[in-house]
Structure formats: C-alpha cells, structure tokens
Structure 1
Amino acid sequence: MEQEVGNFHLVNRIKDTNFSIDDLTHYNLSLLVGRNDFQFCVIDTRENKCLLLEDYELEGIHSTNVLINTLYKLFEGHHLLMAGYWKSVKLAMKNQKFTMIPSHLFSHEHLRDYLKLSTEVDSELDDFYYYQHTHSEAVCVFAAERKIIEKVRSIYPTLTVQVVHHASAFIEGIQSHRDFTYYKDLYINIGRNNFSLVVTEDNKLLLYNRFPYQKSEDIVKYTMLTMQEMNMSQQDTKTIVWGNISADSLHFKELYRYIKNISFGARPSYLNFAYMFDEVADHQYFDLYSIYVCE
C-alpha cells in the first residue's frame, strides 16, 4: 500500500556565501516542525552567525503518519538535511500539547499528569518532555508524537537530538534578546495558523499562551483578553510583534487599532547575519532563530 504524503513547497531560502559543507561539524542545525510548516536554519557556532534558512509550507497534513511521511520525503530529497555530522541538532515542536509549571511545584515524575490538566495526550502515541527555562522560574512540560521524534533521531543516529517546544524557543529568544523594559511588556509571534503571546516584567516570564486563529478578529480577541487579564494598558504597554505578518496586513492593522505602542521586533541580538538575510523582514523567523539559545 502506497504511503500517503502531503504536499510541501518552498516559501523562502536564504544562503550565506560563507556556508561550507566542509564545516558542518561546526554548525548547529535547528528544526521547527508543525502541522502547517517546516523550517530549519543553520548557525555557525564559532561566530554565532546564521548561514542558511529554509521555510516550507505543508498542506494536506491530516494525521501524524502523513506528517512523518511528508517530512521524510522532504528530508530524502535534501542533501544537507540527510547529513549526519552536524555539531548539534535541535528539534522544536509546534503543537498545543504543553503547559507551564512554576519551578518550585515541578516534579519530572508527573509530566503526563501536568499535561492532562490542560490538554489531551496519549501515552501510547506521545512522549513527554520538559524544559527548565534559564531566565525564569518556570518549566515547560510538553508532549510530542513519538513517531516524529523517532524518525528525526533515526536520521542522526550518532547525535543526541535535543527536543524542545516552540514555546520554549520563543520565550528563551525573548529573554536572551535584551530588548525589554522593567514594566509589563507584551510579545506576539504570529504563525500561519497559530500565534503566541508572552508577557514579561523586568524580563521575568509572567505568561505564555498559544492560540489557533482563522482571522484577524481572533488574534485581536485573544490579545485583548490577555491584556485585560494581566491588567495591561492598551495605550502604554510596549508590544512587539514578530512572525508571518507585514505592516500592511490586516492582522497588524487590526492590532494597531487597539494597541498604540506596538511595533515590529528586530532580529535576535545574539546572532549575526550577512546582507543576504535582508531579503526577509527583520521580524520574520525570530522563533526559528531562537531554538539556538535553548540549552
């Protein structure tokens, strides 16, 4: 029986002329996997410099098996992704199977119990992970489909693939970026079908949440509810937006109607970029870049 495979197409590809296949042992490979897209970037760990970025949109992904088959087809046709001699490989998962636990309440023996309180998980299909955030007294507990992790690890059998959640990448990226105030700040990352909200105060994490959306009104609704819950001013709160959005998009225009101190975020300050990366807006791919700072 033929395996079912979804469609994928390349949205963006940027390559630094200094990229060399002979230097892969000095490069970190960061992978970002979701149901709607797959992205990866390559960073030279000697210079903290991003050398390569590729962004693929996925379609027709209605099950884990289809996602695995689609990713494997994409990997098999890509000479770099099948290379096994990277310095390190980090895999970030985009899904709703996560929760944040205060460090003083966390026990690694109860990962599934934490997740059962906020989302649906299946011990027969999922593996459970956690990530201790270095700048906050918080632990991200999450689940990932076992077959996806096993498939990726099978491609890099001589390496220890670090698995994190998209939430941790975004949070660590913000807190390593050094673009914060001592007040409550709001950070938004807009993906193709989901968006994330982070609230910090004095660079300490107060809130993280991730929402699905279909239209701009959904983004505005969940953002306003979050600001109300956190007692944040629509006039004064510093609000930074990253992601799949532009200044003339309806998403940004609708947010601007309600939030006055809003602007686009910059590239992460902990990475270097050559002029080739000027092809994409500075506020794009912040979450992908930020996988690199997850330790």
Structure 2
Amino acid sequence: MSTATVTVPPVALHRLRDETLDLENPAAYNLYLSAGPAGLRLGVADVRRNKFVALDEYAAPEADISLAAQLHALGAEQHDLLRLAGWNRVRLAVQNRAFTLLPAPLFRAGDEAAYLRLHHALNPQQETVHSYTHPGLDITSLFAADARLSAWFERQYPTGRLVHQSSALLQGITHQSEQGTARRIYLSIGHQEVTIVALRGKQPEFLNIFPFSTPEDLIYYTILVMQELQLNPDQDLVMVWGDLMHDSELFTILRKYIRNLRFGNRPFDLGYSYRLNDLFEYRYFELYALHLCE
C-alpha cells in the first residue's frame, strides 16, 4: 500500500447495510469494488440469495489523488469490509481511459502490453496491464491499472479479479438488452467522462470513453456517435445511467437534443436490500453489474 500522506479524510456519501449482513461469515458474500478519480464504491452481494445487501460510497478526499492513496486514506486495514479476507468472490473495477477491446480469438496471453500500447502510452513503472474476456461476447478487454492499486489488491485478495469499468458496463447492458436487430445507444456518465456503448440486439458495435468538461461537450460526443452510426436523435432510444440528477444541466441538455431519452434500471435478475431504495435506480450500475462478471 502506498504511504502517500493525505491530509483530508474521505467523505462518506453512503454507508448502507442490510440487517442480514453477517460479516462473521464473509464466505457467504461477494465483495465488489469500483475505483475511479471521483472516489471509491463498495458493494456486497449475498451469494445464496443473489442480493445486494450493502453499498458504500466515498468521495476522493483530495483532487488528483491516486486510487491507492484513496484506499490508504480510507483506512483499508480498519474498514469493516476491506479488512476482511475469505470472501466468496472479489471483483475490482478500474475506471480510466487506458483500455481497448479485441476480438477474443485474436488475443494471445503475454501480448497484453503490446496490444494496449497501440491505444495508450503505457508507463511500466507506474502501471500494470490486465485482461478480461467477456463470457458469451467473444471480446477481450485489455487495460492498465495503477501499479500500487494492483499490488494492494493482489496482496489483499489473491484470488480476486481486476476488470475495467467498461467491462462491467458492457456485461450489464448485454444482460439487460433484448434479442433482435434494433440498435440502441447507452450512456454511462461519470466524473467528467462519458462511456458510450452501441448494441444491435445483444451484439456490441461500439464502445468508447470521452472526456467532457461542459454539458455541451457531452451532447457533442453523444450526437457525433449517433451520426456516425446513422442513428436519429429524434427517434432512436438512448438509455442513460450514472452520476447525474433529473434537474442537472447534463440531463437538461441531453433531453433538449434527444427526444427518446430514458434512465436505465439496475441489472435485472438480482435482488436489492430495501436499504438501497432511496438511491436512484440508474446509479451504481457498473458496481452492481460486477456481479455478472466471471
């Protein structure tokens, strides 16, 4: 773990626990973590009941702080969830733009860094490279992660699995999508970035992450992708998840230019504690969707 000094403690935005959560028996649960520039999110799912029974969210204590330092500031060794070993399964989703997708038949183990260098200036001293092959999609994701974060995760959870946040999103969307030939656009809005996915039925056709600093940037990239795919903002459905409110400038500008705009739901076929009822269903989608990542 990095020994970076953080002067401001993390801000707990949510710390929700179902009364049935039994931390004396972690083997009965899966632990899911999502780490990005805006902060950390943790979820716990009851394996037998296929149900989320805990959710924590922490805002980054300082600007431009590394993910490893965020965990250090949170006090991972003392946190009631992070300090535990013996979970049934652990998944950590890394949020960054250092990733690419490859048809699974073309992927060769050992060549991850070579593939990724075509899209990202890899720094071997500060980053490690990982891969994740999507079950049922014939797609392999290649991505970089902070080396200190990777080292902490491997020490803490030797059998855990790192995935890219876009992989959790893609698994969740394909799980939700319907069979057929209709093409749809899906947006996941995070901290100053939007992930845009296009599916035809359940077949991915496009996935990329775009940075934005203004609402105008957001609608520019959304309309650009729709035009490239010959979709009509006045007719075709756009589904939205992520960190925005109904009265936010981001939602206002999306609604202004896209007629058929809808908020997405939580992943289907999973249960959710009543403790999560006060959270908007279109938020934390990628965290929940880690339950669908093998």
Tell me the TM-score normalised to structure 1 length. Answer: 0.92
Number of corresponding residues: 290
Q: Which runs of 5+ in 2 are unaligned?
A: none
Letter in 2 for 1:271: L
| 2:192 alignment counterpart | 193
Q: Given that residues 135 and 204 in structure 1 are in contact (C-alpha distance below 8 angstroms), is that contact kept between their aligned partners in structure 2?
A: no
| 1:174 alignment counterpart | 173
Q: Given that residues 184 and 201 in structure 1 are in contact (C-alpha distance below 8 angstroms), is that contact kept between their aligned partners in structure 2?
A: yes
Letter in 2 for 1:87: N
Q: Given that residues 14 and 277 in structure 1 are in contact (C-alpha distance below 8 angstroms), is that contact kept between their aligned partners in structure 2?
A: yes
Structure 1 residue 63, shift from structure 2 partner: 5.3
| 1:230 alignment counterpart | 229
Q: Which runs of 5+ in 1 are unaligned?
A: none
Q: Given that residues 39 and 70 in structure 2 are in contact (C-alpha distance below 8 angstroms), is that contact kept between their aligned partners in structure 1?
A: no
| 1:30 alignment counterpart | 32
In 1: Cα distance, 2:180 partner to 2:263 partner: 16
Q: Given that residues 188 and 240 in structure 1 are in contact (C-alpha distance below 8 angstroms), is that contact kept between their aligned partners in structure 2?
A: yes
In 2: Cα distance, 1:10 partner to 1:29 partner: 18
| 2:205 alignment counterpart | 206
Bigger Cα displacement from structure 2, 242-251 vs 118-127: 118-127
Q: Given that residues 191 and 244 in structure 1 are in contact (C-alpha distance below 8 angstroms), is that contact kept between their aligned partners in structure 2?
A: yes
Q: Given that residues 103 and 138 in structure 1 are in contact (C-alpha distance below 8 angstroms), is that contact kept between their aligned partners in structure 2?
A: yes
Describe the shift of the 1:5–1:137 C-alpha distance in structure 2 as closer, same or farther (beyond 3 A).
same
Which secondary structure state, in structure 2, belongs to the residue aligned with residue 241 of structure 1?
strand
Root-mean-square deviation (CA), in Å? 1.7
- The alignment-based identity, stated in percent, is 29
Letter in 2 for 1:236: Q
Q: Given that residues 129 and 143 in structure 2 are in contact (C-alpha distance below 8 angstroms), is that contact kept between their aligned partners in structure 1?
A: yes
Q: Given that residues 194 and 210 in structure 1 are in contact (C-alpha distance below 8 angstroms), is that contact kept between their aligned partners in structure 2?
A: yes
Q: Given that residues 100 and 142 in structure 2 are in contact (C-alpha distance below 8 angstroms), is that contact kept between their aligned partners in structure 1?
A: yes
Describe the shift of the 1:45–1:6 C-alpha distance in structure 2 as closer, same or farther (beyond 3 A).
farther
**What is the correspondence of 1:62-81 to structure 2 with a 5 Å cutoff?**
62=64, 64=66, 67-74=67-74, 75-81=76-82
Which secondary structure state, in structure 2, belongs to the residue aligned with residue 149 of structure 1?
helix
Which secondary structure state, in structure 2, belongs to the residue aligned with residue 246 of structure 1?
coil
**What is the correspondence of 1:1-295 to structure 2 with a 5 Å cutoff?**
3-5=4-6, 7=8, 8-62=10-64, 64=66, 67-74=67-74, 75-156=76-157, 159-178=158-177, 182-295=181-294
Structure 1 residue 138, shift from structure 2 partner: 1.9
Which secondary structure state, in structure 1, belongs to the residue aligned with residue 271 of structure 2?
coil
In 2: Cα distance, 1:289 partner to 1:49 partner: 10
Q: Given that residues 37 and 55 in structure 1 are in contact (C-alpha distance below 8 angstroms), is that contact kept between their aligned partners in structure 2?
A: yes
In 2: Cα distance, 1:4 partner to 1:213 partner: 29
Describe the shift of the 1:251–1:203 C-alpha distance in structure 2 as closer, same or farther (beyond 3 A).
same
Tell me the TM-score normalised to structure 2 length. Answer: 0.93
Structure 1 residue 23, shift from structure 2 partner: 3.0
Deviations 1:66-118 (CA, angstroms, capped at 9, x unpaired):
x3233123113412210112111111101111011122332233211221111
Deviations 1:215-264 (CA, angstroms, capped at 9, x unpaired):
21111111111111111111221111011112211111101111111110
Q: Given that residues 187 and 239 in structure 2 are in contact (C-alpha distance below 8 angstroms), is that contact kept between their aligned partners in structure 1?
A: yes
Could you list the runs of 4 or more consecutive aligned residues of structure 1 that deviate by over 6 angstroms after TM superposition?
Answer: none
Q: Given that residues 238 and 261 in structure 1 are in contact (C-alpha distance below 8 angstroms), is that contact kept between their aligned partners in structure 2?
A: yes
